[in-house]
Amino acid sequence: MSTAGILHCFIHDEAGPHDSFWIRTLRFIFMVIDVGLTSNIAVAFAWAGASDLEWLNPCSKRSKILIYCSFVLVFICWIVSLLMQLKFGFLILYMAVVGMCCGFYLITQIILFIQKESTKGWEWFIAGGVFGLIGFAALLNPAVCKWLYPISAFINPEFIWFLCSDLAVFCLFVFVSKKS
């Protein structure tokens, strides 16, 4: 079970009126881990795309420091955003970071496809992109999911995002495995 599952199922997202300091602290820690890791997965995709285009040497000391510092910076931004309860924090640190970094990775892979004309594993890449777009669309426009409500009240935009983002990452894993 992921940190998101622990957070949503056992600790709960919203604070209750009688939550102890430890429950509030545990909730905060799992929230930071959950959203921080999601944003950093996207950042890692951006770095992977830059590396694939040979704009970055992931083995060099400078690159490693830059990459690790970017991961730490994302976590720091999430901590500040959550502590200060910034309303735009989720929009910037989740939606914008995920959209821009994964979009950048998509563009880098298309560039490489055009340069090398290799179609190895591309069906997985396209499937991953489609799943990612469906999940992202569900978060950006919750009305997309209204037709699913008669099936189950639990099938909401957040559920669609979690399901589709997991499927997208799996497809991209298979794509990278086949491409290598």
For residue 82, the tally of other CB atoms under 10 A from its CB is 17
Looking at residue 15, what DSSP letter applies?
P
Distance CA(145)–CA(125), nearest Å, equals 24
Query: Whole domain around residue 69: which residue ranges?
Result: 1-87
Q: Which amino acid is present at 72?
A: V
Q: Which amino acid is present at 3?
A: T
For residue 108, the tally of other CB atoms under 10 A from its CB is 19
Question: 92 lies in a domain?
Answer: no
Structural domains of the chain, count: 1
Question: 136 lies in a domain?
Answer: no
**pLDDT tens digits for the chain (180 residues)?**
455 555 555 555 566 677 788 888 888 898 899 899 989 999 999 999 999 999 999 899 999 999 999 999 999 999 999 999 998 998 899 889 988 998 899 899 888 888 877 777 889 989 998 998 888 888 887 776 676 666 766 777 888 888 888 899 899 889 888 876
Question: 22 lies in a domain?
Answer: yes
Question: 168 lies in a domain?
Answer: no
Which pTM value belongs to this model?
0.79
Question: 71 lies in a domain?
Answer: yes
Question: 139 lies in a domain?
Answer: no
Question: 142 lies in a domain?
Answer: no
